[in-house]
Structures are given as structure tokens and as C-alpha cells.
Amino acid sequence: MKPLRCRCGQVIGLDDLMHIAYHPHTMGANRIQVRFECPKCGRVSERLLPQAVWDEMLLAYLENDERTLNEWMETTQLGPITDEEIRAMRRELRQGDLLRSLRKWEASQGEPQD
Ligand SMILES: [Zn+2]
């Protein structure tokens, strides 16, 4: 998986993401719109990523982060992320290989595991 990079070459981290929006498609692949600010040059960029690419990226981020998905979302200003977007994120993540951090997050939501 290629990491998200600014045009200046700086690798974008979890905390550089400013806004995430889901663009669901009833047919075909969903698209995830990600806006981020480069910590090096300050440029704000936007990418439209296929769902599969975003999933891999988020899982890679969370693997290298002490925080759970929930903790990250609570401490980050992601703009107007909606309940539906959170559900969509969760639904998509659950289809893959569940990480320890994600299981913790699921448990904290008080919902039964599949
Ligand atoms: Zn940059």
C-alpha cells in the first residue's frame, strides 16, 4: 500500500487528516474523499480514494497508532462527519481482518460481535 503523500513528498499521518467524507455508490465502488494538511509545507490537499484503498490506509494507520479508531475520531477535528459516515466506516472495516484496536472500538460501542 502506498502511503498518502503531499505533493512535496511528505508522508501524511493520521493527525494530518482534516476531513473525511463518504460518497457511497449503490453500484460500483464507494469513494472516500480525504482532505489533509501537510505538516511540512502546509498545503491543503484533497484526494478521492477508492474504498479499498482507504480501508487499507486506515488499517495501516491504526496498526501503527496507540489509539483506537474511536479515540482517534474523538480527538480529531474531522469536520462534519456524520453518524452515517461513522457507520459506513465501521461496516467497511468489519469486512476486513479485524485489528485489535478495532475490536476494542467495537467493544466500547457495546454491540455484539458477529
Ligand atoms: Zn507538503
Q: How far apart are CA 49 and CA 88, in angstroms?
A: 15
Query: What is the Å distance from ligand 1's center to 98 Cα?
Result: 32
Query: What is the Å distance from ligand 1's center to 35 Cα?
Result: 13
Query: What is the Å distance from ligand 1's center to 4 Cα?
Result: 11
Q: What is the pLDDT along the chain (114 residues), one digit of tens a residue?
A: 678 999 999 999 888 988 888 787 777 778 888 999 999 999 999 999 988 888 888 888 888 878 777 777 776 666 656 666 667 666 666 655 444 555 555 566 554 445
Q: How far apart are CA 86 and CA 88, in angstroms?
A: 5
Query: What is the Å distance from ligand 1's center to 48 Cα?
Result: 18
pTM of the model: 0.62
Query: What is the Å distance from ligand 1's center to 7 Cα?
Result: 6
CB-facing half-sphere around the CA of 34: CA atoms within 13 A: 25
Find cell 452515517 and name the residue.
Answer: 84
Q: Where are the beta strands (DSSP E) in 16-110?
A: 17-23, 31-37, 44-50
